[in-house]
């Protein structure tokens, strides 16, 4: 690419594509060149680098480890919102809740995982949906794990503070009940009752997971689309090993479960799956 502030060669793009794939599973095809340039140019500017070749060298050196995390963070897409793909939350409170209640009655922990949670709207929506329907005693058994590769977004997610505009698609009674005023003008914070149900942790979906399950439900939405087929297959396979028998997997609107693992899941509606053949998965019962 010529006529730009920083020289960006074909070889630089190939190096950055390889590193994005190795670090995060993110596939950068030719069509992403302009996007990569514009997202990383600000990093070069703030580091005082002359061109992309210097940037490629830096992030491959030991001293560049911190910048390598910024690199991944710049390339991820964090778009999300409260109650995104709302039919998943309808399913959670109309169907999955039966099993969830049964476990809380037996005094067993219920574990739900929001994998690739971005700025927190997804795990908080899960918590709000359950809190709408469950008693404080039942809720005391619920644990929601929320993970993402991007530490910066996790720091903001754990605060649970959002501009009022981010709550536009929430019913007024939910805003009233589950959010509190803050001293930042126009911003609201998720209530303590909801925040204490959610634990945020760093986790890279394409590396070894420091979690074992079993999970009663997993939300892994709008992240697998960035992964190549082989990484997607491994991802579904890994989920089939940590979801409890008859637990649910919710995926993004343009994603589908592929590979040999697909037969273990039974479709329960658009992008909703139940792990009915739990080979390798452990029952929580
Ligand atoms: C588009 S957001 C999806 C947020 C939410 N799940 C939703 O559907 O609204 C994608 C998220 O995936 C995260 N991500 C990308 N690659 C990842 C990886 N290898 N491991 C974990 N999270 C990753 C990004 O940081 C980003 O927050």
Separation of alpha carbons 89 and 223, rounded Å: 18
Output the six-digit token pair for 119. 């700025």
Please check if 204 is assigned to a binding site. yes
pLDDT (0 to 100) of residue 278: 78
Q: What is the pLDDT of residues 39-94, one digit of tens each?
A: 999 999 999 999 999 999 999 999 999 999 999 999 999 999 999 999 999 999 99
The whole domain housing 54 covers 10-75
Q: How is residue 73 written in tokens?
A: 């963070």
The alpha-helical segments, DSSP class H, found in 2-77 are 10-24, 33-47, 52-60, 65-75
Specify if 29 maps to a domain. yes
| Residue 112 backbone zone (phi > 0: left; psi -120 to 50: alpha; other: beta) | beta
| HSE-up of residue 28 (Cα within 13 Å, Cβ side) | 26
Mean pLDDT (the chain, rounded): 95
Provide residues with CB under 6 Å of ligand 1: 24-26, 76-80, 84, 116, 118, 122, 148-150, 153, 204-206, 221-223, 252
Going from the Cα of 137 to the center of ligand 1, the distance in angstroms, rounded, reads 32
Q: Can you give the pLDDT at residue 280?
A: 54
The residue among 214, 224, 270 whose CA lies nearest residue 244 is 214
Domain-embedded: residue 259: yes
CA of 151 to the centre of ligand 1 (A): 11
Q: Does residue 282 lie within any of the structural domains?
A: no
- Mean pLDDT throughout 180-191? 94
Angle of CA points 172, 178, 179, to nearest 5°: 85
**Which of 28, 74, 148, 220 for mutating ligand 1's site (highest number of atoms within 8 Å of CB)?**
148
Q: Kindly state whether residues 142 and 237 are assigned to the same domain.
A: yes
E-strand ranges in 172-254 read 179-181, 187-190, 198-202, 215-220, 243-251
Q: Which of the following is catalytic: 148, 195, 216, 241?
A: 148
* ipTM surpassing 0.95: yes
Whether residues 135 and 20 fall in one domain: no
Confidence of residue 144 (pLDDT cuts 50, 70, 90): very high
The CATH number of the domain where 144 resides is what?
A: 3.40.50.150
Q: Do 118 and 255 belong to one domain?
A: yes
* Residue 283 confidence (pLDDT): 47
Query: Is 51 marked as a binding-site residue?
Result: no
Number of independent structural domains in the chain:
2
- Say which CATH number the domain at 29 has: 1.10.155.10
pLDDT, position 224: 98
Residue 143 domain-assigned (yes or no) = yes
**Residue 195: active-site member:** no
From its phi and psi, is residue 279 left (phi > 0), alpha (psi between -120 and 50) or beta?
beta
Q: Look at residue 243 and tell me whether its pLDDT is greater than 50.
A: yes
DSSP class per residue in 118-136: TTTHHHHHHHHHHHHHS-H
Torsion sign, CA atoms 274, 76, 225, 124: positive
Asked whether residue 223 is assigned to any structural domain, the reply reads yes
Q: Do 17 and 122 belong to one domain? A: no
Residue that is last in its domain, among 26, 47, 75: 75
Ligand 1 atom nearest to CA at 26 = 16
Residues 104 and 234 in one domain: yes
pLDDT in tens, 11-23: 999 999 999 999 9
pLDDT band at 1 (very low <50, low <70, confident <90, very high): low
d(CA 109, CA 105) in angstroms, rounded, equals 10
Tokens for 155?
Answer: 């720091």
Q: Among this protein's residues, is 148 annotated catalytic?
A: yes
Could you tell me if 133 and 257 lie in one domain? Answer: yes
Is there a single domain that holds both residue 42 and residue 149?
no
Q: Which of 75, 101, 127 is the C-terminal boundary of a domain?
A: 75
Q: Is 285 part of any domain?
A: no
């Amino acid at each position: 690419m010529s006529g730009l502030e920083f020289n960006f060669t074909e070889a630089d793009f190939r190096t950055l594509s390889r590193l994005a794939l190795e670090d995060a599973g993110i596939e950068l095809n030719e069509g992403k060149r302009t996007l990569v340039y514009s997202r990383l140019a600000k990093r070069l500017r703030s580091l005082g680098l002359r061109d992309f070749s210097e940037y490629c060298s830096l992030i491959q050196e030991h001293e560049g480890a911190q910048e390598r995390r910024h690199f991944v963070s710049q390339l991820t897409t964090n778009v999300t919102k409260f109650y995104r793909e709302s039919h998943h939350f309808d399913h959670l409170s109309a169907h999955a809740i039966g099993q969830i209640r049964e476990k809380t009655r037996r005094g067993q922990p219920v574990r739900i995982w929001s994998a690739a949670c971005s700025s927190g709207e997804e795990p908080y929506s899960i918590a709000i949906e359950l809190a709408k329907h469950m008693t404080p005693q039942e809720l005391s058994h619920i644990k929601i794990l929320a993970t993402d590769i991007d530490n910066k977004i996790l720091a903001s997610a754990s605060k649970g503070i959002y501009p009022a505009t981010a709550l536009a698609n929430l019913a007024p009674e939910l805003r009233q009940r589950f959010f509190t005023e803050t001293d930042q003008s126009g911003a609201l914070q998720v209530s303590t009752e909801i925040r204490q149900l959610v634990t945020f942790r760093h986790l890279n979906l394409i590396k070894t997971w420091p979690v074992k399950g079993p999970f009663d439900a997993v939300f892994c939405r709008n992240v697998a689309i960035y992964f190549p087929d082989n990484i997607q297959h491994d991802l579904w396979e890994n989920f089939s090993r940590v979801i409890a028998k008859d637990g649910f997997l919710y995926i993004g609107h343009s994603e589908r479960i592929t590979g040999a693992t697909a037969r273990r899941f039974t479709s329960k509606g658009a992008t909703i799956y139940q792990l009915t053949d739990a080979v390798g998965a452990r029952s929580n019962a």
